[in-house]
Homo-oligomer: A and B are copies of this chain.
């Protein structure tokens, strides 16, 4: 089994929620990166790969926006944390369920922090063979402010990185996201 395990290619896929629909909906770019991995790389060789889904939650500065009171008790904080966790898990469920259906081994976990820093840190810790990132394919103007996660990871992640840009014809008719 050791030999067989060694020959499995471990692909980390960083996934996030829809910027418009929010949790538990996965962003179009995350789904695009995932589908690309399945269709173009894994194909019928389901036993040859293991997918590692990382979801990084960004600590929310105004996390109390939709809570009843701004005077938060320690209990409020606790429920906020567990709500965040539940949302993240439901997001990951989409990808894990799909893998189970297809028969591809996978793992999934949540971390908190700055996505680009956390992704590179997790790459260092987990040492995948490939990191797959979705990207909105922003224009040069918006990219300066927004599209830095994939560029940062391409430069700094200690493993090969592939960025799956959304094609123009994949822009959603319904403005659901990302």
Contacts and interface: CB of A to CB of B under 8 A. Distances in A.
Nearest to A48: B43
Interface of A: 7, 9, 36, 40-41, 43-45, 48, 129-130, 154, 160-165
Contacts of A162: 130, 160-162
* Number of identical protomers: 2
A43 B163 contact: no
Given A43-B7, A43-B48, A164 B160 contact: yes
A interface secondary structure, majority: mixed
Interface centre among A7, A41, A44, A129 (most CB of B within 10 A): A41
The 4 closest A-B pairs by CB, nearest first: A45-B45, A162-B162, A9-B40, A40-B129
